[in-house]
Amino acid sequence: MTHYSTANPLGLGRAATLAGLRERRGGLRPMDLDGVTLDTWIGRVGGLEERPVVPRLAEFDCRNNRLAQIGLQQDGFDAAVAQARANYGPDRIAVLVGTSTSGMEHCERAYRQRDPRSGALPGWFTERYSLNLFSVADFVQRYLELSGPAAAISTACSSSAKVFASAARLIEAGYADAAVVGGVDSLCLTTLYGFNSLDLLSREPCRPCDAARDGISIGEAAGFALLEGPGRARSGVALVGYGESSDAFHMSSPDPSGDGAYAAMHFALQRAGIAPREVHYVNMHGTGTPANDRIEDRAIFRLFGDSVPCSSTKGWTGHTLGAAGIVEAIICALCLETGLVPGTLNLDRVDPAFASRVAADAETRDLRCVLSNSFGFGGSNCSLLLGRLA
């Protein structure tokens, strides 16, 4: 994982993200989207409304692709990819982007402007360049002038954790030498009102692991990482393992046994040949719903006991859905590079039923290996194990 960048409710770029975590300054705010009356908090990325996509890709212009572009422009990421393109050739770099809703917000706008008589959608709207899930991967591939394997991966809230696994396999199977992996999800009415219909939205900033937690806060974010084959990097952060599983339980409720979550974490460690005691921090999926955090705590305790600090960073960013996997992988990379265990924001009292070691406050440790969890609707689980090189 030789380069990475993010734009999320904490700000634009890695430094803004790290500063927010260190200073315990959250990125959530009361709902302020035009015309939305839901009593909830959201995480927005500033400036999306004023920054259209570059003219050469104008047909892709929508909130989600704008967010992708801002993410690509942070931390010198696009320049790093240009260098990789020169090294490997554009057709040897894969582009895999996770998203749950792609340009759904654009489609909602189009539906508000339907012809009152015919019901037709307005002429400015296209399916291919916004609503279609591939739109964001297509946009990223063209923006970076790459031509290798490309896909949008959409497994709800595990989407942009899954991209790491797919990229590692494509590189191992010889279809690419490197991969740009990413996740981009932007605020839209469908997810806001959808989670509201499931009674999963908190009225406050979300409070993962708190005894009084009562739901999620939705955020929007983009994150990207450049993965190069084994042995390319001598320092920095590497993907050392990944694990995937299915719950086989319910479309929108996690399996109370936690077996699926446990299996994903276990497979990640097994693949890397790492023992649980060698993991120094677990970044939880930790959405702030009563069920998710309870079940995840149980699964973490089963694997790690109460010695490994774990925490959720969704109190800072909100739940960025299809972007959550990579945003939290990037937070883990920042932690590995700085020794920061970020703790948990908005946590007053850890749920007394929890057995694992929830880190409420920030800590500083020698971090060598950290785990990041992402669990999605459909019982789609993915855990990523990241390690520090040298």
Q: Find the binding residues for another protein in span 108-127 (CB under 8 A).
A: 108, 110-112, 114, 119-121, 125-127
Instruction: Choose which of 246, 294, 337, 362 interacts with another protein (CB under 8 A).
Output: 246
- Interaction between residue 53 and another protein (CB under 8 A): no
Q: What string of DSSP letters covers 254-320?
A: --TT-HHHHHHHHHHHHHHT--GGG--EEE----S-HHHHHHHHHHHHHHHTTSSEEE--HHHH-B-
- Per CB under 8 A, 273 contacts another protein: no
Just list the catalytic residues.
157, 285, 319
Choose the binding region for another protein from 159-167, 233-241, 349-357, 361-369 (rule: CB under 8 A).
159-167
User: Could you say which of 222, 263, 279, 384 contacts another protein (CB under 8 A)?
Assistant: 263
Q: Rounded distance, CA 74 to CA 14, Å?
A: 8
**CB 373 to another protein: min, Å:** 15
Residue 153 or 324 having the CB closest to another protein: 153
Region binding another protein by CB under 8 A among candidate stretches 205-213, 250-258, 335-343, 344-352: 250-258
Structure tokens at 383: 């855990």
What is the CB-side half-sphere exposure of residue 379 using CA atoms within 13 A?
17
CB-wise, 2 or 190, nearer to another protein?
A: 190
Judged by CB under 8 A, the number of residues near another protein is 71
- CA separation for the pair 4, 72 (Å, rounded): 9
Of 177, 247, 297, 328, the one binding another protein (CB under 8 A) is 247
Binding flag, residue 295, another protein (CB under 8 A): no
Residues whose CB is less than 8 angstroms from the CB of residue 79 and which lie 6 or more positions away in sequence, other chains included: none
The one segment of 51-59, 101-109, 179-187, 216-224 that binds another protein by CB under 8 A: 101-109
User: Which residue, 125 or 304, has its beta carbon nearer to another protein?
Assistant: 125
Binding-site member from 131, 184, 225, 227 for another protein (CB under 8 A): 131
The SS3 assignment for 390 reads coil
Q: Does 100 bind another protein (CB under 8 A)?
A: yes
Cα distances (Å, whole numbers) of residue 17 to 24, 216, 299, 335: 11, 20, 28, 11
Q: Supply the DSSP symbol for 228.
A: E
Non-local CB neighbours of 337 within 8 Å, separated by 6+ positions: 236, 237, 388
Stretch 165-204 residues interacting with another protein (CB under 8 A)? 165-166, 168-170, 172-175, 189-190, 193-198
Q: Tell me how far, at minimum, the Cβ of 37 lies from another protein, in Å.
A: 9
Within residues 60-99, the interface with another protein by CB under 8 A covers 91
With respect to another protein, which residue has the nearer C-beta, 139 or 301? Answer: 139
Instruction: Give whichever of 2 and 132 is closer to another protein, judged by the CB atom.
Output: 132
Residues 162 and 244 sit within 8 Å (Cβ to Cβ): yes
Site for another protein in 371-390 (CB under 8 A): 376-380
Nearest to 319 by CA among 281, 371, 376: 376
Q: Are strands 218-219 and 41-43 parallel, antiparallel or unpaired?
A: parallel
Report whether 201 contacts 240 (CB < 8 A): no
Least distance (Å) from another protein to the CB of residue 380?
6
Which run of H or E residues covers position 196?
Answer: helix 189-197
Report whether 240 contacts 383 (CB < 8 A).
no
Strands 11-12 and 28-30: unpaired
Pick the piece of the chain touching another protein (CB under 8 A) from 64-72, 154-162, 202-210, 367-375: 154-162
Q: How far is the CB of 346 from another protein (least distance, A)?
A: 25
Residues 215-244 that bind another protein (CB under 8 A): 244
